[in-house]
Amino acid sequence: MSRVLLTGGSGFIAAHVLDVLLDRGHSVVTTVRSNEKGQKILDNHPKVSKDKLDFVIVEDIAKRGAFDDAVQSKPPFEIIIHTASPFHFNTTDTKKELLDPAVIGTTGILESTNKHASTVKRVVITSSFASIITPSEGTRPGYTYSEKDWNPITEEEAIQNPSNGYRASKTFAEKASWEFLEKEKPNFSISTMCPPLVLGPIVHYLQSLDNLNTSNQRIAAIMTGKAKDELPPTGTFLWTDVRDLALAHVKAAELPEAANKRFFVTAGYFSNEEIADIIRDNFPALKNELPAKGTKGGGYPEDGIYQYDNSRVKEILGIEFRSLKDSIVDAVKSLQAVGA
């Protein structure tokens, strides 16, 4: 089994990646921004020895050289899984709060690995469907998105609003990683994961209702009465479960045939209306908080929607995707556990 550096270890996706890595016998060091967060991770894995799980502090991933020390380990790392990147729209300075951490964080860890960690052979990076989709084309009925597609967003468009800023941050960071690979020709390969909306259970010891990941905020809103009169627009109509995405990250690191490829990790379609229906059918105690069947909003567009091609994820990584029902039921249970 391999020695793995996992960045952003207290994040929604990384917490599940960590569990998959440990289940599959890997030894993991995870980066966190504070000693408190790192200790929480260790405390919640009491049966895992320090040689199998440890943490290192990287306070600001947007600083050049931030990962220089983190990539160096005894025994040395063979794999790096880079999940650390902001996903939120609560920003007043798009460049400083979204673009720089994503782009500099990604190129920074590649530079540090190239300089200081010659034993690393595989780097897996969390990108996004945001780097694939062309939002200006709308729902684009009849078009099939796949790994070949790139969001054409420009730097000028990126700073217009936080939503553009997020999409640009993922697009620019992923493009920068492929440019690094082409220009520097490092000893390691790169694989990128491009998920759409990521749903599924939160890891309770790392998250509360106050700091829910952006994707699961919509589930919490529906189950706590905030969508009772009208369901909000679904927005992105594709989803994946966080546990399937975590496994995809790890298998991309383990399988030689995954090297130097993008992976569009999606289970398929969903709508906010379907989320409400699943909660209503499986949690009768929440009935008074939920929108009634047929409540306005949250459905699919009447003129159709883009298609997707996730065959590479199934064929190379062997991922068998969970159902939307299983994902939503488990997400609701995990949210109830933290007080929703």
Structure tokens at 19: 């569990």
Peptide bond into 75 cis (omega under 30): yes
Range 118-136 average pLDDT: 97
205 pLDDT more than 90: no
Nearest 5°: the CA angle 253, 260, 322 is: 50
pLDDT band at 165 (very low <50, low <70, confident <90, very high): confident
Yes or no: say if 175 and 150 are a contact pair by the CB < 8 Å rule: yes
101 pLDDT more than 70: yes
Residues of the chain above pLDDT 90, percent: 81
100 pLDDT more than 90: no
**Any bridge partners for residue 6, and if so which?**
30, 81
pLDDT band at 252 (very low <50, low <70, confident <90, very high): very high
The whole-model pTM stands at 0.95
What pLDDT score does 102 carry? 79
Q: What is the pLDDT of residues 302-334, one digit of tens each?
A: 999 999 999 999 999 999 999 999 999 999 999
223 pLDDT more than 80: yes
pLDDT band at 211 (very low <50, low <70, confident <90, very high): confident
Quote the CA–CA distance of 339 and 336 in Å, as a whole number. 5
Yes or no: say if 282 and 329 are a contact pair by the CB < 8 Å rule: yes
Q: How confident is the prediction for the chain on average, in pLDDT?
A: 93
Quote the CA–CA distance of 221 and 237 in Å, as a whole number. 18
Quote the CA–CA distance of 42 and 54 in Å, as a whole number. 7
Q: Which residues 6+ apart lie within 8 Å of 47 measured at CB?
A: none
Q: Tell me, what amino acid is at 243? A: R
Yes or no: say if 215 and 285 are a contact pair by the CB < 8 Å rule: no
149 pLDDT more than 90: yes
Range 165-182 average pLDDT: 94
Q: What is the pLDDT of residues 29-86, one digit of tens each?
A: 999 999 999 999 999 999 999 999 999 999 888 888 999 999 999 999 999 999 987 5
pLDDT band at 88 (very low <50, low <70, confident <90, very high): very low
pLDDT band at 92 (very low <50, low <70, confident <90, very high): low
pLDDT band at 161 (very low <50, low <70, confident <90, very high): confident
225 pLDDT more than 90: yes
What pLDDT score does 163 carry? 86
Q: Tell me, what amino acid is at 169? A: S
Quote the CA–CA distance of 172 and 95 in Å, as a whole number. 12
| Strand ranges of the sheet holding 268-269, from the earlier edge strand across to the other edge | 197-199, 238-241, 268-269
Per the document, the length of the chain is 340
Quote the CA–CA distance of 293 and 307 in Å, as a whole number. 27
146 pLDDT more than 80: yes
Q: What is the pLDDT of residues 258-293, one digit of tens each?
A: 999 999 999 999 999 999 999 999 999 999 999 999
